[in-house]
Homo-oligomer: A and B are copies of this chain.
């Protein structure tokens, strides 16, 4: 089956808005194996809409139109479609009653203009809109194509896709559909990860696995097609295999998780607390941690120490260390992590110091150089004698991140959280593991 999409709305032809509805429709089509051949945007113009329909209806099996079903004079999709198909618009009493009722239910009188929304293309099957006044329509076009008219309001469109388009596509595919699963990976270069997972390409097919990279994070996306339960079994097998190949760099298989939410959950499970001391990231690590609702359960606070003096005053970094090694150095990163842990009385402490740029770089410490350290308990569970007695573990990593100030800061915050994640999972292995990150 082949499809085309048409988005209607003059605002979508301006300089700052794109037709994002088409991505939702494309996702639904892709799930049921329908190929999208083209998509177009037309202004609120009968002639343009009709021209597009004339161009695509003979060539595809399915045409999805969004927008232009509103009550105002510039909403002309109904008229344009009727004209293009050589049909009349007819007034539908049941639809009119529905619209009137929607207004009454919220204590309003229906504006006269909304009457237009009860005009339907002759022969169209009406698709009531649970989230708005404009009904959708499904029209079987002579020649075999099916034409859907959907409202353009994204929230209303979501409801229409779920209520009408998906079931219709599912019926035609005989239950076969594509489904995706995801693994998220932190702090491994894309090429390294690709090398590691290469065996899975041969096993599951090159096109079943997609790698999507952003600074410091990679999304491994798997797609399986077919009927339930086969596709679920296939996804589970792929996910297991990829997790095995990618190793402990995988931090979640849930799409809604972020690295900061995963780290937070580990701290919460273990009953541990965290504080951070940041220089070049300027609060970004703390900000990311506190984006997570409920983070006050484990994140107690942090300091942003942009000057040498404040590194000393706030978390006790010895002046001698700063003088001997400079603020961007391993000893200072370690002292920040240990110092904030002590000063704020938390189980774990993170220290970050570096040159985010664009200024401040030198031959020895070029822009992008960042020292990171994480300090935490080496011993048993919280408040056990081993926990209290043992010296803290400190892991350290020096990295030179590529990119501009924003990318350097983003990647540094990511590695800080990833080092903590690994320390939480396997305290004894983390010094070696930290060395391997971002290599």
- Contact (A36, B13) CB under 8 Å given A303-B302, A303-B314: yes
Cβ of A294: which chain B residues have Cβ within 8 Å of it?
359
Distance in Å from the Cβ of A48 to the closest Cβ of chain B? 6
Q: Does A233 contact B (CB under 8 A)?
A: no
Q: Does A142 contact B (CB under 8 A)?
A: no
Q: For residues 15 through 64 of chain A, which have their beta carbon under 8 Å from a beta carbon of chain B?
A: 15-16, 18-20, 22-23, 26-27, 30, 36-43, 45, 48, 51-52, 55, 59
Q: What is the bound-complex CA distance between A43 and B406, given in angstroms?
A: 34
Among the interface residues A286, A289, A295, A314, which one has the most CB atoms of the partner chain B within 10 A? A286
Contact flags A223-245 to B (C-beta < 8 A → 1, else 0): 00000000000000000000000
Q: Does A258 contact B (CB under 8 A)?
A: no
- Contact (A41, B39) CB under 8 Å given A287-B284, A301-B306: yes
Cβ of A357: which chain B residues have Cβ within 8 Å of it?
293
Task: Say yes or no: A282 contacts B289, CB within 8 Å.
Answer: yes
Cβ of A358: which chain B residues have Cβ within 8 Å of it?
293
Q: Which of B30, B290, B409 contacts A282 (CB 8 A)?
A: B290
Task: Say yes or no: B19 contacts A15, CB within 8 Å.
Answer: no
Q: What is the bound-complex CA distance between A19 and B42, given in angstroms?
A: 15
- Contact (A293, B26) CB under 8 Å given A13-B39, A55-B55, A300-B310: no
Task: Say yes or no: B37 contacts A48, CB within 8 Å.
Answer: yes
Task: Say yes or no: A30 contacts B15, CB within 8 Å.
Answer: yes
Contact flags A273-307 to B (C-beta < 8 A → 1, else 0): 00010100111111101110111100111111111
> 17 A-B Cβ contacts within 8 A?
A18-B23, A37-B42, A37-B48, A38-B40, A39-B41, A278-B283, A281-B287, A281-B290, A282-B295, A283-B284, A283-B286, A286-B287, A286-B304, A300-B307, A302-B303, A303-B314, A313-B344
Task: Return the 4 tightest CB-CB contacts between A and B, nearest first.
Answer: A282-B290, A283-B286, A283-B283, A283-B287
